[in-house]
Amino acid sequence: KAGVTQTPRYLIKTRGQQVTLSCSPISGHRSVSWYQQTPGQGLQFLFEYFSETQRNKGNFPGRFSGRQFSNSRSEMNVSTLELGDSALYLCASSLDVGNTEAFFGQGTRLTVV
């Protein structure tokens, strides 16, 4: 079966702009989590969605938001982009909330210039 699909793979944006990233989880998976990966901070949890509800949120400013649709697909949005938002954004899907076996997509590489 198809894995986790993230689009786009690469993105270049200008400071101050906003961006929307998309994630399609594995079919049948209902939980979607988002992570930011940078060389300095490593992998950091952004938020988790299940049944269209945000279940958990990491320590990121309100400029970072997300949502989940009824088909479990998820989007995350970053507004008023800053240079420090340049990172690999990873989406992970799991069968259910609390399932430790999360399957990650290849990520979206965001560069803010």
User: Rule CB under 8 A: which residues touch another protein?
Assistant: 4, 33, 35, 42-45, 48, 50, 55-56, 58, 90, 92, 97-107
The bridge status of strand 87-94 relative to strand 31-38 is: antiparallel
CA torsion 70-72-78-83 (nearest 10°) is -170
Q: Which is nearer to another protein, 54 or 80 (CB)?
A: 54
Question: Considering beta carbons, is residue 17 or 27 the nearer one to another protein?
Answer: 27
Closest to another protein by CB, 53 vs 80, is 53
Q: Which two tokens stand for residue 37?
A: 């990966």
Shortest distance (Å) from residue 63 CB to another protein: 20
Calpha distance 40→86 (Å, rounded): 11
What's the min distance (Å) between Cβ of 46 and another protein? 10
CB-nearer residue toward another protein: 3 or 16:
3
Instruction: Report the nearest approach of another protein to the CB of residue 24 (Å).
Output: 14
